[in-house]
Chains A and B, each alone.
Chain A
Amino acid sequence: MNTLEKTELEPKQKTTTMTQLSGSQAVLEALIHEGVDTVFGYPGGAIMPIYDALYDYNDKLTHILVRHEQGGIHAAQGYARTSGRVGVAFATSGPGATNLVTGLADAMIDSNPIVCITGQVFASLLGTDAFQETDVVNITTPVTKWNYQVTDATEIPSVLAKAFYIARTGRPGPVLIDITKNAQLQLFDYEGYKKCDHIRSYRPKPIVRKEYIEEAAAIINEAKKPFVLFGQGVILGRAEDDFRKFIEKGGFPAASTVMGLSALETDHPQHVGMLGMHGNYAPNVMTNECDVLIAVGMRFDDRVTGRLDKYAKQAKVVHLDIDPAEIDKNVKTTVPVWGDCKETLPLLTDLIEKKDHSAWLSQFRELEKEEIKEVIYDELNPTSDIMTMGEVVRVLNELTGGNAIIVTDVGQHQMVACRYAKFNRSKSNVTSGGLGTMGFGLPAAIGAWYGAPDRDVIAIIGDGGIQMTIQELGTIMQFGAKVKILILNNEFLGMVRQWQQLFHDKRYSFVNITSPDFVAVAKGYYIEGNKISERKDLHHALKTMLEHDGAYLLEVMVGKENNVFPMVAQGTSVSEIRLK
């Protein structure tokens, strides 16, 4: 490429002030300049020079040796989600790099700022089917915001600066930099590290246009039944306070997507619950009742909208988003407010009238009562012998007060946790929303703890998901992340079983999953644990888990064939949400 030719053509001007660095050292210098303190990774042949350099950076960078590269990138995601910073993962070439793919796809769809560094075979061997060579750049192209292969060390400082800039700005996303071994070893004249703040072909921050703010404000001010939906954009934009001011001034009821949870405290009087397939009754029904729908930092995922041609057809739609590709993608907007919500929300708040929509809000509360009667009360206070997932989360809420970080895996326990967990603080919900990656929970919880080590991190995981990445218990054992692992065991792949029950005539096809003695497995990893199956032990067991100074695994046996309700069945409208 151009840069390569340039460096070859231009005579190198040697000055005495310049220091010689290897490509590997330049990588680590870049990380330090970008404020990285923790790296999750796994060494191997093609990334050995970087690991060799890391040996001398031990005092500046903490490296967490994971047990599988997928665990490494999920940990980096967890770290990014709770810290709000860029998560970094290292992997070697070939299988090391391909093991990152699931995490990249997950980070891409959930907009996590991640930089992955992969080793690659010597540039001279590219394309020869060399040992541990895979075409990582091509494999990861559709699941990265940007990727690049470095074959010359002189490029490393500028490429990494670009990588961090792209990962964290605009709509964040994962970036992968593949560095050939020769570039890692190559010595070059290091001219210092310069952070990137502009790329001509990339404009992460659109200029907000006042006329659209005005148009949006006019529509909102005329609304009789305004309804706000908020997503992770509020958290990514660090606009939680601006968002609260916005809804409080306007008096709007506000509902969260799965990814938006914790952006607004659960107890806020205008928080009306969660949207989507297993969200709350009121926000789903009211989507088709409101007259103005105000979507903030969310992307109208199909799990949120249900059947699109019956979604909020009566409403005018105001969509605030930083990604122009999301505007009009699924739901046609009346007014697009394109921009960073940190910037657009205060502008909009200034222009909206202070209003009280308590009559409208009380309609949500009426529907909520119905949901409590039909679903929530029994889920949280069951009279059956066997425990429910919901009551475990309720007791957990009582003990944490809503101050913990809740990490979940994927499935029934995830939906139950998202429905019932209480959040007082932002960046407290870590889950795989868009990709639905089973196995995400345990490694993400490890990263979440490193991102917020002063907080309680509780990983709620099903008996299926834990078995996908259970080897990361080894990472906890070795490095001491104080993660609380709460396994909700229903002896089934519960969500698939629920669908088979509801939509496939109860033909339970391969959803019956057996588990090892999880407490014994934890013990094998020198992690304390306990298993309970009776309600009388629940409070004490959870308390013991939370008070234990260190990692802890608690397995709770819950009802085998419980279902998560309400539910918007696939292909139906949000207003056709069923309570049972």
Chain B
Amino acid sequence: MEKQEYTITLYTENSIGMIGRISGIFSRRKINIESLNTSPSEVEGIHRFTILIHESEEVVRKLCRQIEKQVEVLKAYYNTDEELIWQEQALYKVPTNIIAEKAPVERLLREYGASAVVIRNDYTVFETAGHREEIDKLTAELTKYGLIEFVRGARIAIIKDSAGFHTKLKQFEKEEPAPEIVENEYLDQRDNVFTM
């Protein structure tokens, strides 16, 4: 099976050590995490992990099952880029004098949807958000003008056909969840979304 980019979305309890427990599942199998973001989710008290990896579908599916086996993980989804709205953010620090003199700043900002966050005498900080290729292009562009510092944030993603986690959580909180909502949809969509 061919490797491609997959975004794994996890809903977990907000407890200490979760990043370690999750990342161990990848490192044990010698799989590199391209980016990892943790944040609050749409549900209060529930954390959301967004993990980007480059792997085959079979590997990703098995990984998600191992992740969902962790006691404090509520749910694991994996999606291809087409199934997601996703973004990465980047910050660039460049010398103000060069930018002011040489670079067609206005054009760059417009072209890449970037904006200036800080402008000082010695340096200027730009910010942009978008897909990887756009960020990479802007990085290449700004390198020409003496890029001092660059940082890119982890991917964050929204699943296009997700209805959010509120109803799911309500089911999970009940001692005896209803079969139609919970559990075995994995069996229905074995190759699509694995759920428990």
- Within 8 Å by CB of B182, from A142, A146, A197, A203, lies A203
Out of B65, B183, B184, name the residue touching A325 (CB < 8 Å): B65
Bound Cα distance from A135 to B32, whole angstroms: 24
Contact A201 B12 (CB under 8 A): yes
Number of interface residues of A (CB under 8 A): 28
Q: Is A212 an interface residue (CB 8 A)?
A: yes
In the complex, which residues of chain A have a beta carbon less than 8 angstroms from the beta carbon of B182?
Answer: 203, 207
Contact with B along A310-333 (1 / 0, CB 8 A): 000000000000011100110000
Among B21, B73, B177, contact of A201 (Cβ-Cβ < 8 Å): B73
A166 to chain B, nearest CB (A): 6
CA distance A201 to B68 in the complex (A): 9
The answer to whether A355 has its CB under 8 Å from any CB of chain B is: no
Q: Across the interface, name the chain A residue whose C-beta is closest to B65.
A: A325
B13 to chain A, nearest CB (A): 5
Chain B hits for A323, CB < 8 A: 69
Least CB distance from B40 to A in Å reads 13
Q: With contacts defined as CB atoms under 8 Å apart, how many contacts are there between chain A and chain B in the complex? A: 72
Q: Are B179 and A201 in contact (CB under 8 A)?
A: no
Q: Which residues of B lie under 8 Å from residue A2 when comparing CB positions?
A: 14, 45
From residue A343, how far is it (CB to closest CB) to chain B in Å?
Answer: 13
Q: Does B15 contact A (CB under 8 A)?
A: yes
Partner of B20, one of A138, A145, A198, A338: A138
Question: Is the CB–CB distance between B172 and A142 below 8 Å?
Answer: no
Give chain B residues whose Cβ lies under 8 Å from the Cβ of A504: none
Is A203's CB under 8 angstroms from B196's CB?
A: yes
CA distance A146 to B17 in the complex (A): 11
Residues of A contacting B66 with CB < 8 Å? 325
- CB within 8 Å of A: which B16-73 residues: 16-17, 20-21, 24, 28, 45, 62, 65-66, 68-69, 71-73
CA distance A325 to B17 in the complex (A): 22
Which one of B15, B69, B169, B179 contacts A209 once the chains associate, using CB atoms below 8 Å? B179
Residues in A with CB closer than 8 Å to B69 are 323-325
State A353–B176 Cα separation when bound (angstroms): 32
A interface footprint on B175-189 (CB within 8 Å = 1, 0 otherwise): 101010011101100
For B62, the closest partner residue in chain A by CB is A329
The smallest C-beta distance from B44 to any residue of chain A, in angstroms, reads 11
Cβ contact within 8 Å between A324 and B71:
no
Closest chain A CB from B25 CB (angstroms):
8
Q: How many residues of B contact A (CB 8 A)?
A: 34
Residue contact A338 to B184, C-beta cutoff 8 Å: yes
When the two chains form their complex, are residues A203 and B175 in contact, meaning their CB atoms are under 8 A apart?
no
A336 at the interface (CB under 8 A from B): yes
Instruction: Provide the residues of chain B in CB contact with A201, threshold 8 Å.
Output: 12-13, 71-74, 172
B175 to chain A: which residues have CB within 8 Å?
197-198
Q: Does A142 contact B24, Cβ atoms closer than 8 Å?
A: yes
B183 partner, pick from A141, A142, A207, A336, beta carbons under 8 A? A207
- Asked if B173 is at the interface of the complex by the 8 Å CB criterion, the answer is yes
- What 0/1 pattern do residues 128 to 161 of B give for CB contact below 8 A with A? 0000000000000000000000000000000000
Given A2-B14, A203-B182, A325-B66: A141 in contact with B24 (beta carbons within 8 A) = yes
- CB pair B179–A200 under 8 Å, yes or no, is no
A503, CB-defined interface residue at 8 Å? no
A206 touches B72 (CB 8 A): no
Does A55 sit within 8 A of B, measured CB to CB?
no
Is A53 close to B, CB under 8 A?
no
Which residues of the partner chain B approach A209 to less than 8 Å between Cβ atoms?
179, 184, 187
Select the residue from B62, B66, B69 with max chain A CB neighbours within 10 A: B69
In the complex, A328 Cα to B190 Cα: how many Å?
10
CA distance in complex: A141, B16 (Å): 12
Rounded to whole angstroms, the CA-CA distance of A202 and B13 in the bound complex is 11
Known contacts: A203-B177, A206-B184. The answer to whether A146 contacts B71 by CB under 8 A is yes
A198 to B187 Cα, complex, angstroms: 23
> Inside 8 A of A197's CB, which chain B residues have their CB?
175
B71 touches A207 (CB 8 A): no
Chain B nearest Cβ from A199, distance in angstroms: 7
Are B71's CB and A338's CB within 8 A? Answer: no
Do residues B71 and A166 form an inter-chain contact, with CB atoms below 8 A?
yes
Given contacts A336-B187, A336-B190, 11 further A-B contacts (CB under 8 A): A141-B20, A142-B24, A145-B71, A201-B13, A202-B71, A203-B172, A203-B177, A209-B179, A324-B194, A325-B68, A338-B184
Can you offer 10 A-B residue contacts whose CB atoms are under 8 A? A1-B16, A2-B14, A138-B17, A142-B24, A146-B72, A199-B71, A200-B172, A203-B177, A207-B184, A325-B65
